[in-house]
Structure 1
Amino acid sequence: MAVVISVENIGKRFSLRHQSAAESYSTLRDAIANGFKRWSLHLAGRNGASKDPLGAEEFWALKGVSFEVRQGEKLGIIGRNGAGKSTLLKILSRIIEPSLGRVRIRGRVASLLEVGTGFHPELTGRENIYFNGAILGMTRQEIKKRFDAIVAFAEVEKFLDTPVKHYSSGMYVRLGFAVAAHLEPEILIIDEVLAVGDAQFQKKCLGKLQEIGTSGRTVLFVSHNMSSILQFTDRTLLLQEGRVLLDGSSEAGVSEYLRIHENSSKVTNLAGKVPWLRIADMSLDQRNMPLGFNRPIRLKLSLELDRKLTGLVIAIGIVNTLGARIVTAKTAIPELPAGVRDIDVEIPEHRLIPGSYFLSLTLSAGREVLFTKDQIIAIELLADSIDDPLLIPHLERGRDRLGCYCSARATWG
């Protein structure tokens, strides 16, 4: 396949000027004086000087980024907030220019970088469809041919002749995505805009993206939803502090992202409620894979015991982001000798829907609580498929699993 996007060592520099409290209010005279200072700075820069008389700080949002995208490829772009993802997409969409490097693009590009990208607020939904199509270089006849499909997908029939300034953010996204997806650009660029829509619309969009991907068109997709990245993209760029940290398969990219940014997936040196027990180490065992829907959750525990422990009960609580405990998994070990004991705990069937959770740990013997701590480790469960027949009933039930119990297994050595 031919290369349709070539990015060669691009960088993007911004100037950040820190305004002091004394400068909070400026006069026309100040504005004119600062204008002359900026002009003198520009001349000084052309002569090799780099000092900024206004005290502006230089910030590189991107630095040394290079990659190629081939026709028909579905490329995911991930990274933490501030990693440079949106800046990169704006450069590829020709909204801003790079400070360094060169970008070559072959083909017609459609971008959906934020809610209502390319919409004129005073125009109606109908007029904006034709307006966006014209921007993409399509004839009125071509737009008219796809008009009904766009309106049906966006589900905004009742508001088609209403100015889009009166649309909700969800309506904006539905119409914006429908226009970008149905007007058949050779290259489609989508930022984290689908997060505004509801779950059903997100699934609908991912299905459309799958259809676009199989049609041979190129898609660049930015998302913080790792499930969407795994479901839709074949290759992923992982950005960190404006640089490409990893360029490889989506599975490798997501695994590395979770490994780097889930800083709370391992804890050490926790004291128990009794002086003779300590948690030397507790960590997730992902077996080089992200956690998925109904895949086993595996934990490694390392206990330091100053004496023999009889009748140990291990309780793992799974808590959602609202702080509600939705699953408690228990297992027991009849006897542990004194010393350092490594314990593997597995929760084989949790049936949790995809999302973010925290793990809590309680160790007890008889009626005595030896150790307890809430939200000790953060985990992210990913969906394996947008049409997983096992997953859909659980997505529909949502909160039905509050307060349930399930079994766990423990082995030690």
Structure 2
Amino acid sequence: MSTEMAIRAVGLSKSYRIAHRAEPVTRVTEAVAQRLRHPFRRGDYEDFTALSDVSFDIPWGEAVGIVGRNGAGKSTLLKLLTRITAPTAGRIELSGRMGSLLEVGTGFHPELTGRENIFLNGALLGMRRNEIRRRFDEIVDFSGVERFLDTPVKRYSSGMYVRLAFSVAAHLDTELLAIDEVLAVGDAEFQRKSLAKMRDVANDGRTVLYVSHQMQTVESLCTSAIFLQHGTLQLQGGVSDVIERYRGSYEEYAAREAQTRQGLDDDVPRILEVVPTSQTFSVDDDKCVDIRIGPTDDFIGTYFVSAHLTDANGNVVGQCDSRLVGRYLDADREQRLRLSVRNLWMKPGRYSIDVFVCSSGILDSWEGSATFDVLPSLPYPELTSPEATGHGSVLLDFDYEVHR
């Protein structure tokens, strides 16, 4: 492996075996009885491929964004690179120690205090005690959990947990750093500090891998990117090229999903149609979407609907959950709904709609079920340069009053 490369993956694949039972078993006695009755029956298994033949090289000092839709294999790739799980096939070469923050709770023992977990994490990374002690004060100061340092982390809030875990991963002297999108748990100020710290880490010559659905973060943080789709590597290169390819995949996915949904059973209420009342809206228009959901006799009770409006960067601009307005729907008849989003100035661009039918869990989902465009005409009385509206995910209806 070239010393210029921090990470090399060659022919990386990961498959899982999913067991299927013809007769569901809920008790140990039933499982034993079935084995005694059918001692030679072989289990029915299905192979699921999460990653397939993924190869890439990442040089030192790169901050690499890993993007893709849900189920593309992003988190699986990080788990392979951080040796949490082993690949089914292929080879991984790392030129240094890998620090990671993949899920809330990964690498921490809940019964140990924050102080003890800092030293435990360092030891797991192969660091000596004096190395950890040298960075200890920086870790604690950055995390902001000094008051609770001698409290078992099982009593931490999710935000405290993430702050300490990120601080440990970022400050301990590992050459490689892998971070899944867990920073969304932290508050806005901590996210800002974390992104600044990741930039510093990359500028110091360490290599950062960052999984995110937020393209604005990838654009601001990363120097290159990887696009995964259905477990395969579609593109590795410049951030702008990869993000453009990722955005284009939304339309491909929507067309494929619409075709797949035609063969679904009606054992639960199924989303049949999602149609915006217009393909284009002005910034200050009410955005209206018609949703049709089919009936079923196999599901007893009521359900609710949750629709997400997602921008071209993959950010959820807003969630419209029917529970919040007291709308629960009967499953035994077809439902025709009109979602009206009022008083929201959405930025010009293309938006997609994800719709979920839910009860105690998700009964049906249709991501990217429809798209619409918001026209590039601003509702403000004055014209100015683009940086006046460059920040924020939406536009605001505001004014300044001068008091004399």
Shorter-chain TM range is: 0.5 to 0.7
Percent identity reads 42
Distance apart, 1:120 and its partner CA = 0.6
Give, as a single letter, the amino acid of the residue that structure 1 aligns with 2:285. G
**Does the 8 A contact of 1:318 with 1:357 survive in 2?**
no
1:80 maps to which residue? 69
Alpha carbon RMSD of aligned pairs, Å? 3.7
Distance apart, 1:259 and its partner CA = 1.7
Give the counterpart of 2:192 among 192, 196, 203. 203
Partner secondary structure for residue 321 of structure 1: strand
Call closer, same or farther: CA 1:26–1:12 in 2, change over 3 Å.
same
Partner secondary structure for residue 49 of structure 2: strand
**Does the 8 A contact of 2:109 with 2:153 survive in 1?**
yes
The equivalences for 1:289-308 within 5 A come to none
Call closer, same or farther: CA 1:212–1:80 in 2, change over 3 Å.
same
Q: Which has the higher strand share?
A: 1
Call closer, same or farther: CA 1:34–1:223 in 2, change over 3 Å.
farther
1:58 maps to which residue? 47
Q: Give the whole-Å Cα distance in 2 for the aligned partners of 1:377 and 1:403.
A: 25
Give the counterpart of 1:217 among 190, 203, 206. 206
2:151 maps to which residue? 162
Asked if 1:317 corresponds to 2:306, the answer is no
Q: Give the whole-Å Cα distance in 2 for the aligned partners of 1:242 and 1:399.
A: 33
Q: Give the whole-Å Cα distance in 1 for the aligned partners of 2:162 and 2:220.
A: 21
Distance apart, 1:318 and its partner CA = 7.1
Give the counterpart of 1:11 among 10, 13, 25. 13
Q: Give the whole-Å Cα distance in 1 for the aligned partners of 2:184 and 2:56.
A: 27
2:258 maps to which residue? none
Distance apart, 1:402 and its partner CA = 4.2
**Does the 8 A contact of 2:21 with 2:43 survive in 1?**
no
Q: Deviations over 1:243-286 (max 9, x none)?
A: 011111111111111121157999xxxxxxxxxxxx9x957xxx
Call closer, same or farther: CA 1:239–1:147 in 2, change over 3 Å.
same
Q: Give the whole-Å Cα distance in 2 for the aligned partners of 1:128 and 1:79.
A: 32
Distance apart, 1:15 and its partner CA = 0.9
Give, as a single letter, the amino acid of the residue that structure 2 aligns with 1:89. L
1:294 maps to which residue? none
1:24 maps to which residue? 25
The equivalences for 1:5-404 within 5 A come to 5-20=7-22, 22-28=23-29, 30=31, 53-261=42-250, 317=285, 321-322=318-319, 323-327=341-345, 377=372, 401-402=396-397
Give, as a single letter, the amino acid of the residue that structure 2 aligns with 1:321. G
1:333 maps to which residue? none
Distance apart, 1:53 and its partner CA = 2.7
Give, as a single letter, the amino acid of the residue that structure 2 aligns with 1:23. P
Q: Deviations over 1:143-195 (max 9, x none)?
A: 11111111111110111110000001111100000000000210001011111
Task: Provide the TM-score with structure 1 as the length reference.
Answer: 0.64
2:268 maps to which residue? none
**Does the 8 A contact of 1:265 with 1:378 survive in 2?**
no
Partner secondary structure for residue 23 of structure 1: coil
Number of equivalent positions: 300
Distance apart, 1:95 and its partner CA = 0.9
Give, as a single letter, the amino acid of the residue that structure 1 aligns with 2:396. R
Q: Give the whole-Å Cα distance in 2 for the aligned partners of 1:389 and 1:378.
A: 21
Which blocks of at least 5 consecutive residues in structure 2 are unaligned?
Answer: 256-275, 288-316, 320-340, 354-369, 377-385, 400-404
**Does the 8 A contact of 1:76 with 1:221 survive in 2?**
yes
Task: Provide the TM-score with structure 2 as the length reference.
Answer: 0.65
